[in-house]
Amino acid sequence: MNISRRKLLASTALLGTLAQLKHAAFAKAVADTGLKDHYQKDFLIGTAVSSASLAENDSKMLGLIAREFNSITAENAMKWGPIRPTLDNWQWELADKFVDFGTRNKMHIVGHTLVWHSQVPDSVFFDEKGKPLNKKALLKVMEEHVTTLMERYKGRIPAWDVVNEAIEDDGQWRQSPWYKATGTDYIARAFQLAHEIDPKAHLMYNDYNMAMPGKRAGVVAMLKEFKKKGVPIHGVGLQGHVGMEHPELAELEASIVAYAEQGVRVHITELDVDVLPSVWGITGADVATRFQYRPEIDPYINGLTAEAEEALSERYVALFKIFLKHRDKIDRVTLWGVSDNLSWLNDFPVPGRTNYPLLFDRELKPKAAYFRLLDLKR
Ligand code: 9MR
């Protein structure tokens, strides 16, 4: 080996050691704080809390959440199905635990979700003979639901996803049982009522594929129409179930700007990055869709390759650069879960795959993407 090559190797080794030391010191520094602290001046950093973590009082998971995040959303515990499986049966246990956990840790708590077409028992929409309820009867059930939930947590839940997923990707109204019975009145009434119950609450419309031009046009049109009518919508949630290639960042940015121009605050409410081969061209989040499992669409059962890990980190960095650029418009960025093992994307849209969409791995260790998001703020 010639001298200059030896010198080069020695200096590379030294640089490596320095980098390790720096990394160790940095890791210690972040151990005392968390992602939330690094983005304190920009926006809230949230996560969804799974029902399993609440039911098991999973102290490792809940401790990690309290250290890393300052906003929480219940992934499932407050949806109609779980919280009110039949009309006269309210199951408060998990939702109460969720709100207590957030209150104890002085976190910003998001109520998810008051009015959605999914996870709603048939008895809400149909009478005993299977006939759809008429407008008046259906609005009455909805009002009762919104009132009961919001009053229970009034003063402790400052922000609500009032209406979830009412608009299709092409901007048309979703033909849900709510819409079929009431037109758009259910949306207006839900927001008006929520505002009457808790005038201090921040009220949001939340949806997926919000970067798509058709959806953007539909949401903007709704915001305009409701503003004219005095319907109180204060915020818009872009769920953020994204893939590695889509949406294009320019489309995402255009949507953030377009919603903000309507005078509402922007929230990224359910961020995760699907790294697996897409089976349908675009990602979305219509929970009703399912595809058949095939080994060739599940390439990372034994772990992500280095290239895929790097690409995932890069995608997170690119997304957060956009969020930071628009931090004047964005109140909160919430990840849809904490660790890869608990993500809904292991089973959607293909059941039984191994996905890596979040910032913590299956052992709850921060992933490369996590450190890259910290790097962005150094
Ligand atoms: O992550 C949630 C999953 O555990 C549930 O089975 C599913 C149906 O309730 O909902 C998932 O969360 C959805 C969220 O509530 C609304 N936007 C789409 C999310 C992913 O489907």
Which of 153, 227, 221 lies closest to 188 in space, CA to CA?
227
Structural contact between residues 144 and 114, judged by C-beta atoms closer than 8 angstroms: no
Question: pLDDT band at 31, cuts 50/70/90?
Answer: low
Phi first, then psi: what are they for 156, rounded to 5°?
A: -110, -25
pLDDT computed for residue 288 by the predictor: 67
Interval 67-77: pLDDT, tens: 999 999 999 99
- For ligand 1, the distance from its centroid to the CA atom of residue 224, given in whole angstroms, is 28
Ligand 1 atom nearest to 343, measured from its CA: 1
Interval 200-227: pLDDT, tens: 999 999 999 999 999 999 999 999 999 9
Which of 102, 96, 31 lies closest to 73 in space, CA to CA?
102
Pocket test for ligand 1, best of 268, 287, 340, 343 (most atoms within 8 A of CB): 287
Query: Whole-model pTM?
Result: 0.91
Which of 42, 177, 182 lies closest to 116 in space, CA to CA?
177
Residues with a catalytic annotation lie at 165, 270
pLDDT computed for residue 291 by the predictor: 85
Is 145 a residue whose pLDDT tops 70? yes
Question: pLDDT band at 27, cuts 50/70/90?
Answer: low
Pocket test for ligand 1, best of 47, 54, 75 (most atoms within 8 A of CB): 75
- For ligand 1, the distance from its centroid to the CA atom of residue 227, given in whole angstroms, is 29
Say which residues have a Cβ less than 8 Å from residue 313's Cβ, sequence separation at least 6: 367, 368, 369, 372
Ligand 1 atom nearest to 50, measured from its CA: 4
Ligand 1 atom nearest to 344, measured from its CA: 1
Question: What is the rounded distance in angstroms from the CA atom of residue 109 to the CA atom of residue 197?
Answer: 17
Which of 358, 291, 333, 355 lies closest to 46 in space, CA to CA?
333
Length of the chain: 378
